[in-house]
Amino acid sequence: MTCELILGGARSGKSREAERRAVETGLAVTVIATAEALDEEMAARIRRHQADRPAGWRTVEAPLALADTLRREAAAERCLIVDCLTLWLSNLLADAHTLPAGATAEDLPRFRHERDALLAVLPTLPGRIVLVANEVGLGLVPETPLGRLFRDEAGRLNQMVASACRRVVFVAAGLPLVLKEG
């Protein structure tokens, strides 16, 4: 298995870089989409992403059970693009607003289970895996406790996934910068 993580800010070109890397493999490609069309604006974004992809690519939706989906879809002759880990994290933290003061995301059983399952399954998968995630730690400190929790967990998740990947790339202004190779 070859796993790589592509990080970047909003509209940085990270999804396009993931798609370019997938094409380079010459393998059949499946996009594992984590976004949910909960409003018209998000539905339009999803349609735009779908329209930009090559016609022969499959799309599988996995807003929560990402590890199970990866296990089911991974194959030696296939490249999987997960777009994106940040939206998946957001889906998992949907109930975080109910946490009492001082609690952390570790107090959310579904979050813990799904995150740990992802980290456990990544090294076992056949084929190529390209994970896309937002780098959210470069901006302002969020004003709300929930915003800070999300930012912190996104940073932790990116670090954990980066350590499990052979290649990590940061994309800014459509330009990839390799952070880790090997």
CATH classification at residue 63: 3.40.50.300
Radius of gyration of the chain (CA): 16
In SS3 terms, 141-152 reads as CCCCHHHHHHHH
DSSP string, 50-115: HHHS-TT-EEEE-SS-HHHHHHHH--TTEEEEEE-HHHHHHHHTTTGGGSPTT--GGG-HHHHHHH
When divided into structural domains, the chain yields a total of 1
Return the pLDDT at 152: 92
AA identity, residue 140: L
* Model confidence pLDDT, tens digit, residues 20-76: 999 999 999 999 999 888 889 888 888 888 888 888 999 999 999 999 999 999 999
Strand partners, 82: 32, 131
Entry pTM:
0.94
Assess whether pLDDT exceeds 80 at residue 156: yes
Confidence grade of residue 153 (pLDDT, cut at 50, 70, 90): very high
DSSP state, 13?
A: S
d(C-alpha 182, C-alpha 171), whole Å: 18
The answer on whether 182 is annotated among ligand-binding residues is no
pLDDT at 8: 97
Q: Which domain holds residue 152?
A: 2-181
Q: Is 9 annotated as a binding residue?
A: yes
**Which residues are designated catalytic?**
49
Quick: pLDDT tens for 101-132.
878 889 899 999 999 999 999 999 999 999 99
- Across 141-166, average pLDDT: 94
Query: 83 among the known binding-site residues?
Result: yes
Mean pLDDT, range 75-81, rounded to an integer: 98
Sign of CA dihedral 104, 105, 109, 115: negative
